[in-house]
């Protein structure tokens, strides 16, 4: 019995030695596994950008250490009018009006032909104001401040467009105005 | 000879477990990653257009992981609402958001303990169609808790305005 078995075993081994094929399947499996792992691991960061928008740091007790109001600041107003042209409108179907110191920035077509407030004109305006800005004596490092003052019904898109335009004009000191009615 | 060979092959029949294990591991890793993805901070929404928005660089991202709160503000389903504020998939109202940020600010070191200025950073991801009011609520909650390092997410690619507003 034992003799016979050894003979058949030898034969088998011989047969096996005749075809020394490399088993590729596990390698391909592993490769795919790694490929999918790295694809998933690398891709889940979406390509979105960020705008720096630091909120004012000085909170303190009201009345103490009040920062002086910079008269040279630019207050960009994003107002919300009713379809009939009534200001201080509270409804989702209103219209945006971009205003700085009484100057209205009218609608203009953007690069895709959609109508948007004239951001190029606003950028130009901010750049011109920034060029003549004089920092106060007590803080020579201060740069042109811009305040974004938007009504609460304005869609967020327009706030980011304003922030983007101010950033494009080289403004680093950007603040958001407090809501009309505090929370 | 031919008969013997056929017999040998018959004896060899046994299940090949390797591919099955491979596939099981593959599925395991796939579901692990997918479940982690769904729990990720970034929710699906249309971000507003901002040319100047800088894509975060990977080195900074790795360093930022700690002490960063991502607040999602989604477009409301009801037009009378301002927006839906969510952190890690959990919907929060004004009060809950303040509480959440207070706890988060307490969990990281203070930049200025006396003035209660936090080192915590907040990334606000707001849908372009949500009302500014919802973001004001987020700003307010940040400021109440001494968080001033806020960032706003924007899309570097062109996004058309929320509603084609006619010039009037």
- Transcribe chain A into DSSP letters: -HHHHHHHHHHHHHHHHH------HHHHHHHHHHHHHHHHHHHTS---EEEE-PPP----STTSSPPPP-TT-EEEEEEEE-TTS-SS--STT-EEEEEETTEEE-EEE-TTS-EEE-HHHHHHHHHHHHHT----TT-TT---EEEEEE-TTSBHHHHHHHHHHHHHTT--EEEEPPPSS--
Residues from chain A contacting residue B93 (CB–CB below 8 Å): none
In degrees, rounded to 5, the angle at the alpha carbon of residue A73 between the alpha carbons of residues B141 and A158 is 55
Residue contact A153–B133, C-beta within 8 A: yes
* End-to-end CA separation in angstroms for chain B: 96
Q: Which residue has the tokens 């989604």?
A: B74
Residues from chain A contacting residue B35 (CB–CB below 8 Å): none
Q: Is residue A1 very low, low, confident or very high in pLDDT (cuts 50, 70, 90)?
A: very low
| Phi, psi of B46, deg, nearest 5 | -95, 115
What are the residue ranges spanned by the domains of chain B? 2-38, 58-152
Q: Which of A57-66, B41-50, B92-101 has the highest mean pLDDT?
A: B92-101
Q: Is residue B85 very low, low, confident or very high in pLDDT (cuts 50, 70, 90)?
A: very high
> Can you give the pLDDT at residue B167?
38
Mean pLDDT of B97-105: 92
Which pair of structure tokens corresponds to residue B18?
């390797």
The C-alpha atoms of residue A174 and residue A73 are separated, in whole angstroms, by 10
pTM of the model: 0.69
Mean pLDDT of A151-156: 89
Residue contact A95–B168, C-beta within 8 A: yes
Check residues A4 and A89 and name the one with the higher pLDDT.
A89
Long-range contacts at A9-13 (CB < 8 A, ≥ 24 apart): A12/B8
Q: Is B29 on the interface with A (CB under 8 A)?
A: yes
Q: How far is B111 from chain A (nearest CA, A)?
A: 11
> Which residue in chain A is spatially nearest to B126 when comparing CA positions?
A156
User: What integer best gives the mean pLDDT of chain A?
Assistant: 79
> Which residue in chain B is spatially nearest to A110 when comparing CA positions?
B160
Residues from chain A contacting residue B58 (CB–CB below 8 Å): 45
| Residue of B132, B10, B18 whose CA lies nearest to A25 | B18
Chain B segment 95-154 residues within 8 A of A by beta carbon are: 115-117, 123-137, 139-140, 142-143, 146-154
B69, B104 contact by CB (below 8 A): yes
Exposure on the CB side of residue A57, measured as CA atoms within 13 A: 14
Q: Please name the member of A48, A111, A112 whose beta carbon is closest to the beta carbon of B47.
A: A48
The C-alpha atoms of residue B106 and residue B91 are separated, in whole angstroms, by 21
Mean pLDDT of B31-58: 75
In degrees, rounded to 5, the angle at the alpha carbon of residue A66 between the alpha carbons of residues A63 and A71 is 130
Residue contact A49–B132, C-beta within 8 A: no
Residues whose CB is less than 8 angstroms from the CB of residue B134 and which lie 6 or more positions away in sequence, other chains included: A156, B73, B76, B82, B83, B84, B85, B126
> Can you give the pLDDT at residue A20?
72
Residue contact A115–B53, C-beta within 8 A: no
Is the pLDDT score of B24 beyond 60?
yes
Residue contact B79–A111, C-beta within 8 A: no
Q: Is A141 on the interface with B (CB under 8 A)?
A: no
Q: Which residues pair with A52 in a beta bridge?
A: B151
What number is the ipTM of this complex? 0.72
* End-to-end CA separation in angstroms for chain A: 94
Is the pLDDT score of B115 beyond 50?
yes
Chain B segment 70-89 residues within 8 A of A by beta carbon are: 73, 79-80, 82-83
Residues from chain B contacting residue A105 (CB–CB below 8 Å): none
A130, A169 contact by CB (below 8 A): yes
Q: How far is B74 from chain A (nearest CA, A)?
A: 11
């Amino acid at each position: 019995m034992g003799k016979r078995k050894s003979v058949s075993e030898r034969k088998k081994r011989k047969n096996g030695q005749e075809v020394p094929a490399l088993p590729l399947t596990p390698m391909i499996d592993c490769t795919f596994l790694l490929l999918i792992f790295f694809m998933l691991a690398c891709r889940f960061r979406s390509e979105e950008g960020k705008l720096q928008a630091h909120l004012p740091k000085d909170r303190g007790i009201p009345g103490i250490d009040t920062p002086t109001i910079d008269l040279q600041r630019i207050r960009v107003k994003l107002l919300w009018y009713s379809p009939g042209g009534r200001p201080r409108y509270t409804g989702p179907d209103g219209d945006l009006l971009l205003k700085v110191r009484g100057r209205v920035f009218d609608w203009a077509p953007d690069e895709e032909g959609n109508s948007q407030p004239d951001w190029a004109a606003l950028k130009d305006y901010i750049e011109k104001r920034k060029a003549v800005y004089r920092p106060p004596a007590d803080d020579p490092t201060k740069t042109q401040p811009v305040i974004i003052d938007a009504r609460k019904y304005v869609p967020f898109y327009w706030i980011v467009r304003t922030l983007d335009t101010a950033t494009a004009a080289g403004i680093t000191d950007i603040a958001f105005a407090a809501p009309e009615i505090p929370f | 000879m031919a008969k013997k060979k056929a017999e040998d092959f018959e004896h060899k029949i046994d299940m090949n477990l390797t591919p099955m294990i491979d596939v099981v591991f593959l599925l395991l890793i796939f579901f692990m990653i997918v479940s982690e993805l769904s729990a990720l901070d970034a929710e699906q929404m249309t971000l507003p257009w901002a040319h100047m928005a800088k894509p975060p660089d990977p080195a900074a991202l790795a360093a930022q992981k700690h002490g960063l709160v991502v607040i999602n503000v989604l477009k409301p389903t009801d037009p009378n609402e301002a927006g839906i504020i969510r952190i890690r998939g959990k919907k929060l109202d004004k009060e809950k958001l303040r509480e959440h940020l207070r706890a988060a600010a307490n969990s990281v070191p203070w930049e200025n303990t006396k003035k209660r200025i936090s080192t915590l950073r907040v990334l606000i991801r707001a849908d372009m169609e949500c009302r500014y009011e919802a973001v004001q609520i987020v700003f307010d909650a940040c400021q109440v808790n001494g968080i001033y390092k806020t960032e706003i997410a924007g899309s570097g690619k062109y996004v058309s305005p929320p509603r084609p507003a006619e010039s009037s």
